[in-house]
Amino acid sequence: MADFESHLATLNIKSFLADHSVDFPPIAKPEFTFDKKFLGAIDSGTSFTLKSWRDKYLAANIHDLLLEMDIEGSEYEVILSTPSDTLADFRIMVIEFHSLDKIFDPFAYGVLRTCFEKILRHFHVVHIHPNNCCGSVRRRGIEVPRIMEFTFYNKNRVTETKYRADFPHILDRDNTVRKKTLLLPKCWYS
């Protein structure tokens, strides 16, 4: 936690971090505000919703927010429980999606599909990076990396779109250096 936010701090951009599993971020920066809570589907003693968190700090700053979320599988419940108008307040969302290989399970497929449909109402996918930590699965001719990082850009900010096929991107890096590189399967962009 905090590498991405540390880079933002060099640009004088404030970051709001949350993680109930630690007492404080690994580094301290004046641009950091930290809550010892998980991001989740309900407000409780140990968690809060994305809307509650946004409203706590940024209620007046709408339509120009950046979300970076890597919450180990809870991203689905957060997205599904967040009002669409709250999601639409973000300019950019960078989300690591876990358990994508569950797409072949009928129940999980419904959850994944609904989550992505909700996001895609307001956002374009502008980049996908497979995390090479856990490999991929192949079924029915479709290869699915188990974990992938998606970057979404708000449709209200876009005047023109075009498909890209130049993967990996020059800035892409392996997440785990001791594991084999995992390229984005062509079925995700062809």
Tens digits of residue pLDDT in 78-120 = 999 999 999 999 999 999 999 999 999 999 999 999 999 999 9
Could you tell me if residue 2 is inside a domain? no
Residues 6+ apart with CB under 8 A from 148: 96, 97, 100, 128, 129, 130, 131, 184
Could you tell me if residue 134 is inside a domain? yes
pLDDT of residue 160: 92
Query: How would you classify the pairing of strands 65-69 and 90-97?
Result: parallel
Number of domains in the chain: 1
Which whole number is the average pLDDT over 165-173? 87
| Token reading at 150 | 């998606």
CA 141 to chain centre: 26
189 has pLDDT over 90? no
What pTM value is reported for the model? Answer: 0.93
Calpha distance 68→91 (Å, rounded)? 11
Confidence band for 2, pLDDT divided at 50, 70 and 90: low
124 has pLDDT over 60? yes
pLDDT of residue 184: 92
190 has pLDDT over 80? no
Residues 6+ apart with CB under 8 A from 47: 20, 37, 38, 39, 40, 41
Tens digits of residue pLDDT in 4-62 = 888 899 999 889 999 999 999 888 899 999 999 999 999 999 999 999 999 999 877 67
Could you tell me if residue 89 is inside a domain? yes
pLDDT of residue 64: 83
| Token reading at 77 | 């419940």
Could you tell me if residue 40 is inside a domain? no
Confidence band for 177, pLDDT divided at 50, 70 and 90: very high
Could you tell me if residue 82 is inside a domain? yes
Could you tell me if residue 16 is inside a domain? no
Calpha distance 136→13 (Å, rounded)? 35
Residue appearing with tokens 């701090």: 9
Residue type, 60: A
Calpha distance 128→56 (Å, rounded)? 30
**Residue 167 sits in which domain range?**
62-188
pLDDT of residue 140: 85
Could you tell me if residue 41 is inside a domain? no
Length of the chain as a residue count: 190
Could you tell me if residue 43 is inside a domain? no
Residue of higher predicted confidence among 165 and 144: 144
